[in-house]
Amino acid sequence: MKCRFCGTPLHDVFLDLGSAPPSNAFLRAEDLTAPETWFPLRLYTCTECHLVQVDEVQKHDALFSGDYVYFSSYSRSWLAHAERYVAHATERLGLGPDSLVVEVAANDGYLLQYISARGIPCVGIEPTASTAAAARDRGIETVERFFGRAFAQEFVAARRKADLVVANNVLAHVPDVNDFVAGLSAALAAGGTITLEFPHLLQLVAQHQFDTVYHEHFSYFSLHTVQRILARHGLRVWDAEELPTHGGSLRLWVCHAGAAQHETPAVADLLAKEAGAGMLEMGYYQGFQHVADQVKNDFLTFLLGCRRDGKQVVGYGAAAKGNTLLNYAGVRPDLLGYVVDASPHKQGRYLPGCRIPVVAEASIRDTRPDFVVILPWNLREEITGQLAYIREWGGKFVTAVPDIWIN
């Protein structure tokens, strides 16, 4: 078992969450009589490049099936984030009708719809059949393939290089990070820009976000480590922004190593911040298991107390985060009766592993729970606003991360 970037043998455990099923493997009622496949969920830190990573990559087809139920467009705040990004990037890079934008892992066209609306030619690359079809339905040209070096070379030969390559929230999900970044480099025009967004490992540790760990999330990055990976493939970072998305992400603006873009002071500032937090030392990575166990134990203590007192607890948001927390904590429907999700693709199904039913929001008005646990804590503000009516019967909101919060 070796580091997926630099090949150094991995032996330093960052976090061990036992075993869990793939987080998007939602079950139908008829699946409940069948066994599920659980995979070990353990992260290692590379002692050489500090890339935090899962120890083994499952087969693509097991994790990203045609039945994939994650549609980006169902979160309103996520759509607003994409729209702001497009306005900012197209203006900053001066993109117009003669430009080409390529988005890798374009999902259902949630982002490219805003590029297209500005009259800028764009193509989405998306391996999942159901989401690719949804993107085509909204008029976005979509190629149904996995992205990598070979695909990029093929694409460039048939079309042209891109002025903007959007690779937001995909880098962490790529099994072969070298092949992927080589593909980004091959697809990029000489003066073009790649934007990368990914959850920042600095925030994961500082905010106790162990529930953002799941099998499909292969790598966890600092700027230092990403910079090394980019450099190997002839790319460099010319600007870096800290974003609030996913509990704290980085957005990097990347160009060819020899391109003319000037590096902003933000890059050196962020590198200094990481060094100051200790991210260049192994000790930084060795205390996280204890943090995760504390969060898990506090959440279970809360649920057991509610059970003892006869209080009804339900969840909101059937996302990967919730599945990690619920499976690691061993929560079952006796402690958390159901989980509400806005996506009709998830309603009527069951969460993988813990087998808690997923229902529509109407259930909350019908059953008047005492507590609603917001599983995607990063959307807390949006969801407490949307469900403010639970106050009518004295209902309260709960989040488990970074520490138990009840209000």
Contact residues for Zn ion, defined by CB under 5 A: 3, 5-6, 8, 46, 48-49, 51
CB atoms inside a 10 Å sphere around CB 290: 8
- What is the C-alpha to C-alpha distance for residues 121 and 144, in angstroms, rounded to an integer? 18
Q: Which is nearer to Zn ion, 46 or 93 (CB)?
A: 46
CB of 6 to Zn ion, least distance (A): 3
* Minimum distance from residue 7 beta carbon to Zn ion (Å): 7
Question: Would you say 50 or 149 has its CB closer to Zn ion?
Answer: 50
Long-range contacts of 283-290 (CB under 8 A, 24+ apart): 284/205, 285/12, 285/14, 285/45, 285/50, 285/52, 286/12, 286/14, 288/14, 288/15, 288/205, 288/210, 289/13, 289/14, 289/15, 289/16
Nearer to Zn ion, 142 or 219 (CB): 219
Nearest to 111 by CA among 72, 147, 159, 148: 72
Phi, psi of 224 (to 5 degrees): -55, -50
| 208 within 8 A of 401, measured Cβ to Cβ | yes
DSSP bridge pairs for 16? 42
Taking each helix axis from N to C end, the angle separating 288-309 and 320-329, rounded to the nearest 10 degrees, works out to 80
- Name the minimum Å distance from CB 49 to Zn ion: 3
The minimum distance between CB 180 and Zn ion, in angstroms, equals 15
CB closer to Zn ion, 13 vs 266: 13
What's the token pair of residue 138? Answer: 């909204």
Residue 202 beta carbon to Zn ion: minimum distance, rounded to whole angstroms? 18
What is d(CA 283, CA 305) in angstroms, rounded to the nearest whole number?
35
Q: Token pair for residue 156?
A: 């460039």
The position carrying tokens 């899962």 is 54
For Zn ion, the closer CB: 51 or 115: 51
- Which CB, 48 or 361, lies closer to Zn ion? 48
**Least distance (Å) between residue 39 CB and Zn ion:** 22
Looking at beta carbons only, is 232 or 355 nearer to Zn ion? 232
Q: How far is the CB of 247 from Zn ion (least distance, A)?
A: 24
The nearer residue to Zn ion, 3 or 306, going by C-beta atoms, is 3
CB nearer to Zn ion: pick between 48 and 242: 48
Q: Rounded to the nearest 10 degrees, how much is the dihedral formed by the CA atoms of 215, 220, 225, 226?
A: 80
What's the CA gap between 380 and 365, in Å, rounded?
Answer: 19
Q: How far is the CB of 93 from Zn ion (least distance, A)?
A: 32
3-class SS at 394?
coil
DSSP states of 192-217: EEEEEEEEBHHHHHHTT-GGG--TT-
Closest approach, Cβ 189 to Zn ion, in A, equals: 30
Q: CA dihedral defined by 227, 217, 328, 382, rounded to 10 degrees?
A: 90
AA letter at 293 = D
